[in-house]
Chain A
C-alpha cells in the first residue's frame, strides 16, 4: 500500500468553501438520504399544481424561503469542513479611530485517513476499515447502526450524518441516517484524477497524493511543511476544544504565519 494523504496550505486558504461544494457536488449520489429525498426529475414531468403551491417556495410559518424543503435535495454531510478561527480584535481607540490586532485563519479538513483510525477502532460493528491500495478509510454504511461512536472518537469530525439527530431514528426507519465519510475520492483517484476538493481549490491551497511524494513536493516552500505529528498542536491551536488521540493523521500542512517571501 502507498499511503495517500492531504496537503493544506493555510497561508493560501480564503475560506471560500469551494472544496466543500465540489465535494458535495461530486458525492451527491453518496449522501445518506438520497433515497428518501429525491426529486422526481428523471423525465421533467410537470405535475399540475407544482408551481401553485406556495409552500413549495415559502415557509408559511415564518415567511422565509422554504429552505427546509430546498435542502432536502442536496448533500448535508460535510465530508470536508472549512472553519474560521479569529484572534485579536478591533476596538475604538483614541481620537475616534480604530485599533486592530485582528487576524483570521481558515482550516479546511476532511478525513485525514489516519494510519490508526480512531473511528475504526470505535465502531462496534466493524463497519469502518482501511482500504488497501491508498490507505483510504472507508465506511460500509450498510452496516452502520447509527450509534455515533465513530463521530465521538474522531478528533476531526470526519464521520458525518445527514441529520445530527441520527440517534433518534427508529432502527427500522429507512430514513435512519447512517454514517458516511470522505473516501479520498477513491473513484477519482483510481482514474488518475485528483480528489474533487483538490481539483476545485480556488486558491490552490489543497493537494493530495502519496504522502512521501507530498513531503518532497512541498519541502522547498518557505516555512516548509509541518509533520503530521504537529497537526495535533496545529489543530489544537485552531480548535482548542478538540482532544487529540494519536491516530496518525496523514496530512501535512503549511501554517499561516509571518509573511515570508517564497
Chain B
C-alpha cells in the first residue's frame, strides 16, 4: 500500500491529545502556507468536548423525528438522528418496522438536518424592526427598541378596539384564534374586544375534516400503521410518504417492508413520486372476468390528471358495483345511503347542533325549514332514534347508475330504469369517459377496481389498504375526493377490517390515539374550534374580505352567518367536553351596513407565512396593502415578514426545554433539550404577546408586569419543569394501548424519557388496531346516523339540494351551490373538462373530454387559451414554506417547473431554460426541468417556495377587488352578481418560484367547504417569452 504519511492507528490513539495540540499550533502560529505540515488525521479525531442532548423539529411537517444535538461552547456543532447509535448495537436495536413489536428509529429527513443551518442563517431576525417605507420594501426596515415596537403594536390594537363602538367588532384579524392557548386567546375573546376576525381552516388537510364531518364524523380514526402488513394489496393514492407522512413517522419505511414482504403496491399520482419510484410494484398479468376474461398489467405508477382523482374513484366504484363486487352486508348494516330508498334509524350518540354551531363548520341552526328533517328533532338532544331516508335519486347506487347517462351517453339500454350490462357499450363508455378525463386507461381502471375489491389469491375477497395522501384534497373539489375514498373503502368492506382502512389518513385527529393517556376521541379538535367567537372566514378568502368587505359567500348569507358565529358562547358538558348548549349574547348584525361590510385594520401573525402559504399571492399582497398595520412574529425574514409593519424576532427551540408530539395519533413522544442560552435580542412568541397585551392594558388603567403577571419568558430551568409536567400528563400508556396491545405496558419515568430522548408504544402487526372497530365502532360514529353516510343527512337536509356548480365563467362565478349530500365526483372549478370545446363561444361538446376537441382552458379576461394543468405537490425539503431559505437543502432541490418532454418540445423549451409559468393570476420565472417524471399536459411547481418580486419586471393580472392598487376603497367598483368585476393590474413577476401566484383563492360560497386550500388542477401556461 502506497501511503504518503503512514500514521498508525495506535499512534493516533496514544497521542490524540498531543496531535490536537500540535494542530492548534500549526493552525494559529504560522502563515498557514501550504508548506506547513498539518497531519491529515488531525481533523479526524472525535471531539470529546462535545456534549450531546436531544431535540426534535418544532415545525409541523405532519410528523416528528429524533434529533441528537452535539454542542460545545453554547453553539450547535453537529446534528444527528435516531440512527446514530453504536455500530455494534445496530442489529438488535435498529430497524424493526413493527412486526416484531419493537420501537423503530424515527430518523430525520433533510428538513431535520437543516435545522442546524437554519439556526445560524444570515436572514435570522435578531431584533425588532419597524417599516418606515412601503410594505414589502425590505430596505426601509429600521431597528427599534423592544419598548418602541411593543408600544407601536399596542397602539395599533388599541386603535382597532376603539372602533368597536361604531363597527360592533374589533377590526383585528388573526389565525387560529381559538386554539391559541395563552393570554392572547383571552384577549381576542374578551367582551370588550370580541368579536374579531379569524381566518380559519387548514392548509394541510382542511378538506379531510370537511369530508369526514357527516360522512364518518370528525372524531374517527383509521387503522394503525403496522396494520398495512396485514393487507393483500396497497393503493398509495396521491401520497408520497417520503415527503409527507401525516401522523406517521417513517411511513416510507413501513411501505418498504410491506413491499419486501410481498405485498403488491401501486401508486396513483400525476407525477412519478419518490414513493412511486421505489415502493410500488404494480400487478403484472392480473387476470379477472368482467363480461370476458382479461389479463391486464396494472402499472406500478398510474399517472393521473390533477383534480380528476374523484372521477377515477367513481369509475372504480362503478366497476365494483356493476360486477357485484361490493359488500352488500356491510353496506346494509354499517352504512347509510348506498342503496336506493335506504332507510335507517340513527344510533348516533351525537348531540344535534345547538343554536351555537361549530364555527369551522358553519351549519345554520334552522333545521326545521326542511320538511324531511324528522319533526321530533330537538336542538341539543341526541340524533339517536331519528329515522332517515335517502331521497329519491340521491343514493350512491343511483349516482353510479347516473354515470351511464352522464358519461356513458346512454348508448346502451339504460332507458326506462334498466341499466347497462357489464361489457356492453354503455358500460364501456363510462370507463372510456373516465379514461379520457383522468388519463388512466379504461382497462387499468377496471383491473384496479377488481384488484382492490378482490385482492386475494384466485380473486377472493380480502383486505386491501388505501393509503391516501393530501394532494387531491388541496383542490376546490377536494372534499368530494376524500368522500369517494371513504366510499370505496366502505363498498369493499375494508373500513373496519384489519389490513384495510377507512380511506383517510389525516385530519383533526385521525390516525390513532392509543398511545398517550389523555387522548381519546372525545377530546376532539372539533370542540376546541367551537370556542371561537369571531367573524370567521375561510383562510384563503381573507384577501377577498380585505379587498371587498366579505368573502365569497353572498352578502345575505355572510350577514346571516356572522349573526350565528357571534350569537353566543358555547356551553360545554364538563364531563364529556362536548358543546351541549349556548350562552346567548347579542349577535353582531351587519344588515344594512354600507360596503365594506367588514374591515381589517390589524393582521396579527404568529409564526405563519401567510403571504406564501395561501392561494393567489398577488391578490393577497393587494389585500395586505389595504391593512393598516401588519404585526408579525417570526424567526426569519419571510415574505410575510417583509410585508409587515412591525416585526418581532422569535427565539429558537434550542433555548428552552419541551416535549414534541406530532399529533394525538402518533405513538412516540420526543424530548427537546435546551443546549443554548438566549440568542440575539429575541423573545419567545408567548412573551411577545404578553408584552403587547401589558402595554395595551395600560391604556385601560391596568398595570401588569409581563414578567410576573403573565406566563412570560421562562428561565431554562422553569421550561424544564414545564416539559416534565407535559410529559407526566401525556406519558401514557393510554387505556386503549393497555386494552388492545400490551396489558403490562408501563410508561418510562421522566428520567428514563430524558435519558432515551423518546417514548414509544409500538404496535406489532398481530395486534393491529382497527379504528372502526375499536375507537369509533360502526353504528356509533359521531355523525347524524352513527353509520357511514354515503348520503349525508346534515348536508342533504339543511341546504338547498343544488349541485355545487363549477359554473361557466372564468371563475365559475355562478358557483352558487352547496355541498353534495351524496358522495360523488365533482368536476373541479377550473378542471380538465373545461379544456374541451372552450372558447369565446363554447362548442357543443364543451366540458366533455371524450367527445369534445381539446382547445385548452379559455379565459375571457385575458383572451388566452391555457393548455396545461398545474399541481403543487409537497417539496421534499420544505414543510409548507418553512426551510425554503435554507440554502443547504435548497441547493439540492432547486425550485423549478417540471414539465413533460412532449409539452416542452411543443413550446421550444429545453431542460434548464428559464421560463415564465403564468395564468391570469400571476407569473413566476423559474428554470424548467424537462422530464418524464410528470405526465403530459401537467406541470408541477412544488409548494412552498417563497414569493419574491422582481425589482422591475411586471406582468398583467386580473383581480376581483373593490380597492385600488394602493389599497384605497374604490366607490366606482362595478359589481357582477354581487362580486366586484375583475380589473387589470400590473404586478411584479415572482422570481422565488412561489406556486401560489397561480392558485385560486375560492373555497366556495360556503365557509364549511372553504376551509380547505384550492391549490391543484388549475389552468396555466409555460413559455420562454414573457406573457403579455
Bound-state CA distance A51–B121 (Å) is 12
Would you call B886 and A70 a contact (CB within 8 A)?
yes
Stretch touching chain A among B151-159, B434-442, B716-724, B759-767: B434-442
B262: A residues at CB distance < 8 A: 261
Distance to closest chain B CB from A175 (angstroms): 12
B138, CB-defined interface residue at 8 Å: yes
In the complex formed, the residue of B with least CB distance to A30 is B43
Residue in B78, B83, B281 whose beta carbon sits within 8 Å of that of A194 in the complex: B83
Bound-state CA distance A129–B303 (Å) is 50
B3: A residues at CB distance < 8 A: 129-132
A42, CB-defined interface residue at 8 Å: yes
A58: B residues at CB distance < 8 A: 138, 948
In the complex formed, the residue of A with least CB distance to B945 is A65
Would you call B87 and A192 a contact (CB within 8 A)?
yes
Q: Which chain B residues numbered 254 to 288 have a C-beta less than 8 Å away from chain A?
A: 256, 259-262, 272, 274-279, 281-282
A149, CB-defined interface residue at 8 Å: no
Would you call B81 and A199 a contact (CB within 8 A)?
yes
Residue in A15, A21, A126, A199 whose beta carbon sits within 8 Å of that of B84 in the complex: A199
A156, CB-defined interface residue at 8 Å: no
In the complex formed, the residue of B with least CB distance to A67 is B887
Would you call A202 and B44 a contact (CB within 8 A)?
no
Would you call B432 and A22 a contact (CB within 8 A)?
no
Would you call B252 and A14 a contact (CB within 8 A)?
yes
Bound-state CA distance A145–B9 (Å) is 27
Bound-state CA distance A28–B76 (Å) is 11
Would you call B139 and A54 a contact (CB within 8 A)?
yes
Would you call B436 and A97 a contact (CB within 8 A)?
yes
Stretch touching chain B among A87-95, A159-167, A230-238: A87-95
Would you call B890 and A56 a contact (CB within 8 A)?
no
A122, CB-defined interface residue at 8 Å: no
Would you call B34 and A259 a contact (CB within 8 A)?
no
Would you call B86 and A73 a contact (CB within 8 A)?
no
B40, CB-defined interface residue at 8 Å: yes
Stretch touching chain A among B125-133, B788-796, B1006-1014: B125-133
Stretch touching chain A among B357-365, B538-546, B860-868, B933-941: B933-941
B12: A residues at CB distance < 8 A: 190
Most chain A C-beta atoms within 10 Å of own C-beta, residue among B278, B892, B934:
B278
A220, CB-defined interface residue at 8 Å: no
In the complex formed, the residue of B with least CB distance to A15 is B274
Contact (A140, B890) CB under 8 Å given A50-B126, A203-B252:
no
Bound-state CA distance A262–B108 (Å) is 26
Would you call B143 and A143 a contact (CB within 8 A)?
no
Q: Which chain A residues numbered 189 to 238 have a C-beta less than 8 Å away from chain B?
A: 189-194, 196, 198-204, 209
Bound-state CA distance A188–B83 (Å) is 13
Stretch touching chain A among B111-119, B344-352, B461-469: B111-119
Would you call B274 and A14 a contact (CB within 8 A)?
yes
In the complex formed, the residue of A with least CB distance to B884 is A65
Would you call A96 and B435 a contact (CB within 8 A)?
yes
Q: Which chain A residues numbered 85 to 119 have a C-beta less than 8 Å away from chain B?
A: 86, 88-93, 95-100, 102-106
A71: B residues at CB distance < 8 A: 887-888, 891
Distance to closest chain B CB from A178 (angstroms): 8
Bound-state CA distance A102–B122 (Å) is 41
A250, CB-defined interface residue at 8 Å: no
Most chain A C-beta atoms within 10 Å of own C-beta, residue among B110, B125, B142, B992:
B110
Would you call B242 and A16 a contact (CB within 8 A)?
yes
Would you call B948 and A65 a contact (CB within 8 A)?
yes
Most chain B C-beta atoms within 10 Å of own C-beta, residue among A52, A90, A144, A186:
A90
Q: Which chain A residues numbered 128 to 153 have a C-beta less than 8 Å away from chain B?
A: 128-133, 138-145
Bound-state CA distance A128–B884 (Å) is 37
Would you call B5 and A140 a contact (CB within 8 A)?
yes
B45, CB-defined interface residue at 8 Å: yes
Residue in B85, B95, B259, B892 whose beta carbon sits within 8 Å of that of A17 in the complex: B892
Q: Report the interface size class on chain B.
A: 35 or more
A242, CB-defined interface residue at 8 Å: no
Contact (A190, B46) CB under 8 Å given A97-B441, A130-B1, A196-B84:
yes
Residue in B260, B931, B951 whose beta carbon sits within 8 Å of that of A86 in the complex: B931
Would you call A95 and B40 a contact (CB within 8 A)?
no
B88, CB-defined interface residue at 8 Å: yes
A25, CB-defined interface residue at 8 Å: yes
Q: Report the interface size class on chain A.
A: 35 or more
Would you call A139 and B32 a contact (CB within 8 A)?
no
Would you call A17 and B110 a contact (CB within 8 A)?
yes
Residue in A16, A75, A133, A192 whose beta carbon sits within 8 Å of that of B9 in the complex: A133
Would you call B123 and A57 a contact (CB within 8 A)?
yes
A28: B residues at CB distance < 8 A: 77-78, 116
Would you call A199 and B252 a contact (CB within 8 A)?
no
Q: Which chain A residues numbered 6 to 60 have a C-beta less than 8 Å away from chain B?
A: 11-18, 20-22, 24-26, 28-30, 39, 41-42, 44, 46, 48-52, 54, 56-58, 60
A62: B residues at CB distance < 8 A: 950-951, 991
B8, CB-defined interface residue at 8 Å: yes
Q: Specify the main secondary structure of chain B where it touches its partner.
A: loop
Would you call B143 and A51 a contact (CB within 8 A)?
yes
Contact (A129, B109) CB under 8 Å given A64-B948, A194-B90:
no
Distance to closest chain A CB from B31 (angstroms): 10
Residue in A24, A70, A73, A132 whose beta carbon sits within 8 Å of that of B6 in the complex: A132
A66: B residues at CB distance < 8 A: 122-123
Q: Mark B1-33, 1 if CB is under 8 A from A, else 0.
A: 111111111001100000000000000000010
A262: B residues at CB distance < 8 A: 260-261
B620, CB-defined interface residue at 8 Å: no
A15: B residues at CB distance < 8 A: 274, 277-278
Q: Mark B566-584, 1 if CB is under 8 A from A, else 0.
A: 0000000000000000000
Contact (A52, B113) CB under 8 Å given A14-B274, A41-B75:
no
Would you call B259 and A90 a contact (CB within 8 A)?
no
In the complex formed, the residue of A with least CB distance to B885 is A65
A174, CB-defined interface residue at 8 Å: yes
Distance to closest chain A CB from B225 (angstroms): 15
Residue in B137, B242, B949, B950 whose beta carbon sits within 8 Å of that of A14 in the complex: B242
Bound-state CA distance A51–B934 (Å) is 41
Contact (A42, B73) CB under 8 Å given A16-B109, A102-B301:
yes
B51, CB-defined interface residue at 8 Å: no
B425, CB-defined interface residue at 8 Å: no
Would you call B951 and A91 a contact (CB within 8 A)?
no
Bound-state CA distance A138–B2 (Å) is 12
Would you call A95 and B436 a contact (CB within 8 A)?
yes
Would you call A104 and B272 a contact (CB within 8 A)?
yes
Contact (A74, B117) CB under 8 Å given A22-B80, A120-B2, A186-B41:
yes
B101, CB-defined interface residue at 8 Å: no
B937: A residues at CB distance < 8 A: 92
A255, CB-defined interface residue at 8 Å: no
Bound-state CA distance A50–B141 (Å) is 11
Would you call B303 and A100 a contact (CB within 8 A)?
yes
Bound-state CA distance A14–B988 (Å) is 37
Contact (A18, B991) CB under 8 Å given A52-B142, A141-B40:
no
Task: Please give 8 more A-B residue pairs, beta carbons under 8 A apart, in addition to A86-B932, A105-B277, A201-B83.
Answer: A26-B80, A39-B120, A52-B143, A57-B122, A58-B138, A132-B9, A133-B9, A138-B41
Q: What are 23 sample pairs from A and B whose C-beta atoms fall under 8 A apart?
A: A16-B109, A39-B122, A51-B127, A51-B637, A52-B139, A57-B123, A63-B948, A65-B946, A71-B891, A90-B936, A92-B902, A95-B432, A96-B439, A98-B440, A105-B277, A133-B9, A140-B5, A190-B9, A190-B44, A192-B88, A199-B85, A204-B256, A259-B282
Binding site for A on B (CB under 8 A): 1-9, 12-13, 32, 34, 36-41, 43-46, 73, 75, 77-81, 83-88, 90, 94-95, 107-110, 113-114, 116-117, 120-123, 125-127, 129, 137-139, 141-143, 242, 250, 252-253, 256, 259-262, 272, 274-279, 281-282, 299, 301, 303-304, 432, 435-437, 439-442, 637, 642, 678-681, 849-850, 854, 876, 884-893, 900-902, 931-937, 946, 948-951, 988, 991-992
Closest 5 A/B residue pairs (Cβ): A261-B262, A140-B40, A21-B113, A70-B887, A71-B887
